[in-house]
Structure 1
Amino acid sequence: MARSAAARVAAAPAPTRAQFSIGQVLARLNPDFPELTPSKLRFLEERGLVSPARTESGYRKFSQADLERLRLILSMQRDHYLPLKVIRSYLDELDAGRQPEFPGRPDVALPSMLIAERRFTREELVREAGATPMLLGDAISASLIAPSDLFNEEALSVLRALVELQRSGIEPRHLRTFRAAAERELGLIESALVPIAKRNDASSRAKAAELAREIAAQLEVVRGSLIRTALTRMDG
């Protein structure tokens, strides 16, 4: 069985030439990950997810393999809301030459470290999702998809889900409460982060962002359990 692109790259020996400075790494990754900052790069290094080389003067130098690894880490955070400890465990398995199951939802394809996330125009998004322009417009009006000139893979996943829901008579306007619930969860997360947020330094901001993802992941577990329990009662 062929190994995934991510597994092949993660397991392959890293190139000996570490050529990119922090600024060059940001220039290459910020178009897809604008939230990436020097402090977050250092935080990921502190957590052992990436290990750049050092010059004799102590400056960090990143290889192409480091960039690909960072792209995978950031994709797993942004697209699957995975906490760093889960990502670290997954990468450790890849580094050991194993083929672990991707820790996101089983129906989500493994993100590749070789390919940047696709972007879609409005027309491309509608075509790829098998939707109509009206459905996309309704999804944007209901704040289920953010308005944009270019849409990402997550918007495509949401629009595809809305196409399927529409077949069951569920329209975007029926899901406005989802947006309200998400806002309430955000308020809950922000309240939990107040002690860290008061420390207004780069390291604390990076830790707060990571903790926010971990809390969101745990809330997702609870939400999924409640829905499954309710479905079980319906089956009974």
Structure 2
Amino acid sequence: MTDGPEAPPTIDTSKAHPARVYDWLLGGKDNYPVDEAVGQSLPPAAKDAARQNRQFMHRAAAWLAGQGVNQFLDIGTGIPTEPNLHQVVQRIVPTAKVVYADNDPIVLRHAEALLISGTEGVTDYIEADVRRPGRIVEHARATLDFDRPIALSLIALMHFVPDGQDAHAIVRDLVATLAPGSYLVLSHGASDLLPELAAKATAEYARGGITLGFRTRTEVARFLDGLDLVAPGLVTATEWGTATVDAAPSGVYAAVARVPSP
């Protein structure tokens, strides 16, 4: 389901990839020794962070579907791990349409087999990098109606895009394509909540060839400029949308924000 004349890239098993490291942290099997090596080098709390992040995605997606949102654009999908976003939302809104995007070809291969829509809804997938937002939006327009509200999901993604690559501008460009009443769902690793863990994770990812740039709360808040935050605002992943107490501390910021009317 790739578009354009580009040949699909091959899977490079000699270098770690964020999607596969994340799969390992979640207990998945769709990763390679180089990804496992990065995961094993991280502090045990990294597994807590991956779990907390995934649970936030489930809660946010279910809340949005409960608000009647039936279109979702999920960038940085990762290797399918049930329940996937479309499964969460289509249980609530069976006609929901979901477009997934990720830049790891192994995700595409799994997506073709596992990201299967319910009979009333639609799922689609594009292999693309968030650094090329125009390409993602162009592809998504074939499935999603950008004149109606869309939930844009950027889960644990933007901390892999450093400031030198205009991370905040990328999000602004994506949000600018959305109709009023749309939502941005964002989670992002924090540099100021558990600073020792953040520093260790950054160093170990770097050894695996992956640039990781956690940000402070103020820096994460910039991604939400001009949007209306949904309660409880920009909080940790364990604080958003749940009354359940998670004993493990959270090093991930999370928020859902609405695109206002002009």
On whether the aligned pair clears a TM of 0.5, the verdict is: no
Structure number with bigger Rg? 1
From the two aligned structures, give the one with the greater helix fraction: 1
Q: Which has the higher strand share?
A: 2
TM-score, normalisation: structure 1: 0.27
